[in-house]
Amino acid sequence: TLPYYKYDGIDHRGFVFVVHDDYGLMLLHCTRKKKKGDHFQLPGGHVDDVEFKEAAKTYPGDPNKQLLHAAQTGAARELYEETGLDVRSTLTRLRPATLFNSAKDENEKKKGELECMLKHRLYFFLSVTDDDFWIKNIHSETEIKSMKLASPMDKVGSNLMIKLSEEHSGFQFIKDPKVSADLLKSHSKGVGREALLLAMNIAELDNHQDYPTPKKESSSKNYDNEEGDMVAVEEKKEHDSAGKSSSTNCDDLVVEPPPKNELYKKQHNEQDTDDGTTATKQYNGQDTNDGAATTKQYNEQDTNDGTTTTTTATRELPLDLLIKPKRKDGVFSCCTSCF
């Protein structure tokens, strides 16, 4: 017989980080569990036996794919039952969260577990827009009441509505992932909170691994970038004691924002004011131009004496990185700063 995932006796669950492009992470408010009191939850719940059986038919002989598919199916079903948001026919929208770095966290991750799995719970990211919700201003009050549509508990995303299940009393969008993690500490024994923090940590590592920071002496300064945010800048410089330096204005290090999500390289020549020699500068980096991860590295080669000056500028990362693939395998991750 073909190998299959042995799910008997294990309470597997699937949960969804629903992330709105503008408003952040959607959490459901629960008041029905007296022992826990009022608390927030992620959409999701138990994976049913029938979902494992269907997954075994879809992916015969591949236990890992069976588990992932069953959890996706269960998470999509629970999401629909609890919110009315329907991705049951488009399961690929549920992207597995990366909770572990295979190279560094092998001791933390149990052997054979998927990277999106923690304590028999599997986590997925779902990027949503207004189109996934019911919109308040296009439905009459009668329609809203008959469909039992609910608006957010505060003003954030107040034009959006969902179909809440009876076990939930409301929902809310949270922009800051650290706040979201704190609000999840009472849900599912705090495992959802742990999963979000793990995903945030992996995203930070992935985002910076291609931009090594020089190890020489550094100094820190703050500058206003083109969007008005404060950017933490670390300047790393190597100097030849016998070499000559070219005059550089800070404005020379300002790179115009490139098109969204595109890598860029920029190079120009600079005239040395002392002896007329030419220095060549090249800028390498990535800027999503939407408030997402921004890391810029400037390599300056002085053609007069061969010395090199490297400057790396990094600013904090918001949540949109959370739902964007960082590696070729398509695994999605998130970041450590703000939604």
Assess whether 126 and 63 both reside in one domain.
yes
Assess whether 116 and 177 both reside in one domain.
yes
Q: Which CATH number belongs to the domain containing residue 204 in this structure?
A: 3.90.79.10
Assess whether 272 and 190 both reside in one domain.
no
- Full residue range of the structural domain in which residue 197 is found: 13-209
List beta partners, residue 223.
Answer: 231
Assess whether 73 and 94 both reside in one domain.
yes
The number of distinct structural domains making up the chain is 2
Assess whether 36 and 53 both reside in one domain.
yes
pLDDT, one tens digit per residue, over 305-325 is 666 555 444 333 445 555 544
pLDDT, one tens digit per residue, over 16-44 is 999 999 999 999 999 876 676 789 999 99
pLDDT, one tens digit per residue, over 237-291 is 333 434 433 333 333 333 333 343 334 344 444 444 455 555 444 444 444 344 3
Reduce the DSSP state of residue 265 to 3 states and report it: strand
Note whether residue 2 is domain-resident: no
pLDDT of residue 294: 42
Assess whether 123 and 236 both reside in one domain.
no
Choice among 161-165, 228-232, 275-279, 311-315 with the minimum mean pLDDT? 228-232
Note whether residue 8 is domain-resident: no
Assess whether 228 and 306 both reside in one domain.
yes
pLDDT of residue 38: 86
Assess whether 51 and 200 both reside in one domain.
yes
Average pLDDT over residues 193-217: 64
Q: Which of 171, 189, 209 is the last residue of a domain?
A: 209
Beta strands in the chain (DSSP E): 13-20, 24-30, 39-41, 44-46, 95-96, 117-118, 121-128, 134-135, 149-150, 160-163, 170-174, 218-224, 230-237, 262-271, 278-287, 294-302, 308-315, 324-325, 332-333
pLDDT of residue 84: 97
Assess whether 156 and 268 both reside in one domain.
no
What pTM value is reported for the model?
A: 0.62
Contacts of 32-37 spanning 24+ positions with Cβ under 8 A: 32/167, 32/169, 36/186, 37/186
Q: Are strands 308-315 and 294-302 parallel, antiparallel or unpaired?
A: antiparallel
Q: Which of 145, 175, 209 is the last residue of a domain?
A: 209
Residues 6+ apart with CB under 8 A from 138: none
Note whether residue 326 is domain-resident: no
Q: Which of 174, 209, 244 is the last residue of a domain?
A: 209
Assess whether 228 and 197 both reside in one domain.
no
Q: Tell me, what amino acid is at 110?
A: K
Note whether residue 322 is domain-resident: no
Assess whether 53 and 162 both reside in one domain.
yes
Instruction: Tell me how far apart the alpha carbons of residues 124 and 284 are, in angstroms, rounded to a whole number.
Output: 32
pLDDT, averaged across the chain: 71
Note whether residue 59 is domain-resident: yes
Closest CA to 280 of 308, 262, 300, 265: 300
Note whether residue 124 is domain-resident: yes
Note whether residue 78 is domain-resident: yes
Note whether residue 32 is domain-resident: yes
Assess whether 188 and 233 both reside in one domain.
no
**Can you spell out the DSSP letters for 217-246?**
-EEEEEEE-TTS-EEEEEEEE---TT----
